[in-house]
A and B are shown apart, each in its own frame.
Chain A
Amino acid sequence: MTPDDSDKRLREKIERAFVPADLCITDPDAIEALLDAAKAEPFSEEKIALMLRKFKGEIPLGEREQEEEDPVWTESELTEEEEALVALHRNGGGELPPAIQEKLRRLREQAKSQPEEGETCDN
């Protein structure tokens, strides 16, 4: 067996390890049953129109719109809460500046007035 053959066999094993056996079938009747079991929702008219435009070559295949990247995080755009947390972290348990202490106090007050996780608001 050549190194290429052994790589190929290993790749096949990897695919079979990740894909359940019921998706690795070749028998037409079994494929028929697999597709019956999918019970997918029909495509919407918009989807069909879009796919037909792709079929006609009006829209290229495989091209995806770039997702908008998260804005770069800067300290100048911190919320009051984030600013207080940064100060706490940097301070490492030491005395905090009075302005930050005041912000923390307000945040604690706010936290006390809010329900705990899992608590309902209607009791």
Chain B
Amino acid sequence: MAEPKPYDEENTRLAIALLDDDERALEEILRLYGPDIKETLYKKFTLHLGVLTYEDIEDVLIIALHRLWDARKNYDDKKQSLRVWFYCIAENAARDVKKLGWHKASKLERHPGKDWLEDDPKCAAPEPVEVEVKKEESKEATDLKMVVSKLPDVQRRIVLADSVSRDDVASSADLAADLGIPVAYVKVYRQRAMATIRREMRKLGHNIP
């Protein structure tokens, strides 16, 4: 039998503290797990997608901490560690911030059991594929990145924000405020960008949905 790691003991202690409604556990969770989660989300949402700032990620952690507290009775240590659970909640919170804006995303925390509480983050891992199919997909991804990167700045920012908003587009009102343009323009630019992406990708020989 594998030796229990100090990490497992820490996980059990914090999980018990949460079940005992001990709020002090939250500060410890933030101290222990916050920095690595923040760094990882920063890589994804800031460095690669450019849709959230470093400070935004910090606020996402706060929303996630609220959600974790609200859902603490649902935590199952057989499925994942508290750290992974916190990461999944934070990842979903980041997507909600883009989809709904800060105000609505932070209000969701008071409604446990809603769709933000997913076991897995929404960034679906690709299924294993044949080498040839993988090559084609890789070429498609490279071309798609190039096409999106060539879009005018405002259109690109809208498309990237949309790409991380769970099941829907990003909040047009929030995007309009960020970009300093009227809401109606966001909708027009969004349509224009999607049409351009499809047209350019077809020109490059890709069968885009």
Contacts and interface: CB of A to CB of B under 8 A. Distances in A.
Nearest to B66: A55
B209 A9 contact: yes
A19 B97 contact: no
A10 interface: yes
Contacts, number: 144
A39 B65 contact: no
A7 B37 contact: no
A10 B81 contact: no
A10 B209 contact: yes
A7 B62 CA distance: 31
Contacts of B112: none
Interface SS, A side? helix
A37 B10 CA distance: 19
Interface residues of B, number: 63
A5 B30 CA distance: 37
B124 A26 contact: yes
Contact of A43 (B30, B49, B101, B167): B30
Contact of B125 (A17, A24, A41, A61): A24
Given A8-B167, A26-B124, A38-B36, A20 B48 contact: yes
A52 B30 CA distance: 9
B62 A35 contact: no
Nearest to B53: A64
A104 B80 CA distance: 70
Contact of A23 (B43, B59, B124, B198): B43
A17 B102 contact: no
A21 B126 contact: yes
Contacts of B126: 16, 21, 24
B55 interface: yes
B159 interface: yes
B61 A51 contact: yes
A76 interface: no
Nearest to B141: A17
A14 B34 contact: no
A31 interface: yes
**B56, B169, B209: residue with the most chain A Cβ atoms closer than 10 Å:** B209
A105 interface: no
Contact of B40 (A7, A26, A34, A47): A34
B44 A48 contact: no
Contacts of A21: 125-126
Given A7-B169, A15-B163, 6 more contacts: A7-B194, A18-B49, A26-B121, A35-B36, A42-B35, A55-B66
Interface of A: 1, 5-21, 23-28, 31-32, 34-36, 38-43, 47-48, 51-52, 54-55, 61-64
15 contacts: A10-B208, A11-B159, A11-B163, A13-B140, A18-B160, A18-B163, A26-B124, A40-B36, A40-B38, A41-B35, A48-B30, A51-B30, A51-B34, A51-B58, A64-B53
